[in-house]
Amino acid sequence: MNETEFCDWHVDDQGFWPAMYESEASKESGYDQHGINVWMALDDMPADYEGSMALSPGSHKAEWASDAYHAIGQEDRLLDDTRTLTLEDVADIFGANDPRGTCSMGLASPELRDRIESKKVVLNLRRGDVVFATRLLFHRTLSVTDEGREYFASIQRPTLNRYSIRYVPGTARIPTGYHFFEWSRTLDDSLGGKTLDEVSLPAPSESGEIKPLWYPKVWPSIDRSMDSRLSEVGSLKSLVKEKVNEERKALYELIQKRKAEGNIR
């Protein structure tokens, strides 16, 4: 894996999603909490230049899938949807030198990484292309190649943009504790532990003000007030960005400190 790549072969666990893939919500609803990733390219991302991501088709159903999940600590973190994440937990999840971290398949099990890599497909994406996949499919980020950097610089594309949407049952719960990927939890600690159905309802705040619709329902019908309600979330963007940057900075500093001390396991 290129040193500039953020995350080795992984699935989207509690560090990325609000939903557990096995939980009490699964038992109560009769539906799993796997969820669906929707990955949309907003710029052209030719496979020759990489910059998008690689998928390992069928890896979520492979005979060794459970071993691969275990190798990077998926079951340990995700079977209990009541666990409160700490900053230290998230440092373990994303610590590049942690063999039990989400992003550390190469350290955890080189053999399993080779199996996943053997099925690799590098996506050749055009602007507007959309990829649908279960959150449990192994995938990884790809750094832009040297040739790609030259090419994108020549067409004045300093960054490659994409948009992600996640579909998950409303019975899934938002993690409690530290979490910088979920805007709702980042701005309101009291939402931790609640189901997405609860958070999507127009509950008033203590001041009587209606809170934003964080998780709009899209099936079996769409909330007709969704457009206007989502605009409220958009108005919070600068505040969210500020808080997320603060939490990411704290996480980065902790990871660097623990690496220097040799304390990332």
Confidence of residue 114 (pLDDT cuts 50, 70, 90): very high
**Residue (of 259, 249, 253) closest to 96 by Cα position:** 259
Which pLDDT does position 2 carry in this prediction? 39
Kindly state the average pLDDT of the residues 64-89: 74
Which pLDDT does position 1 carry in this prediction? 38
Kindly state the average pLDDT of the residues 119-126: 93
Which pLDDT does position 59 carry in this prediction? 93
Which pLDDT does position 89 carry in this prediction? 75
Taking CA 251 as the corner, what is the angle to CA 11 and CA 14, rounded to the nearest 5 degrees?
A: 30
Q: Parse the chain into domains and list their residue ranges.
A: 24-261
Sign of CA dihedral 146, 148, 151, 153: negative
Is residue 142 within 8 A of residue 124, CB to CB? The reply is: no
Which pLDDT does position 88 carry in this prediction? 79
Kindly state the average pLDDT of the residues 173-201: 79
Helical segments of 110-236, H only: 110-118, 146-154, 183-187, 196-200, 226-235
Answer yes or no: is pLDDT of 204 > 70: no
Kindly state the average pLDDT of the residues 185-199: 81
Q: What is the DSSP letter of 170?
A: T
Confidence of residue 3 (pLDDT cuts 50, 70, 90): very low
Q: pLDDT tens digits, residue range 241-255?
A: 888 888 888 888 888
Mean pLDDT (the chain, rounded) = 79
pTM comes to 0.80
Other Cβ atoms within 10 Å of 68 Cβ, number: 25
Instruction: Give the three-class secondary structure for 233.
Output: helix
Which pLDDT does position 126 carry in this prediction? 94
**Alpha-carbon span 165 to 224, nearest angstrom:** 19
Kindly state the average pLDDT of the residues 253-265: 73
Q: Which residues of 6-29 are buried (b: 16+ CB within 10 A; e: fewer)?
A: ebbbbbbbbbbbbbbbbbebbeee
Confidence of residue 93 (pLDDT cuts 50, 70, 90): confident
Answer yes or no: is pLDDT of 30 > 80: no
Helical segments of 10-61, H only: 24-29
Which pLDDT does position 95 carry in this prediction? 65
Is residue 56 within 8 A of residue 116, CB to CB? The reply is: yes
Kindly state the average pLDDT of the residues 224-228: 67
**Alpha-carbon span 97 to 179, nearest angstrom:** 20
Is residue 40 within 8 A of residue 162, CB to CB? The reply is: yes
Confidence of residue 18 (pLDDT cuts 50, 70, 90): low
Q: What's at 53, amino acid-wise?
A: M
Which pLDDT does position 43 carry in this prediction? 94
Which pLDDT does position 102 carry in this prediction? 83
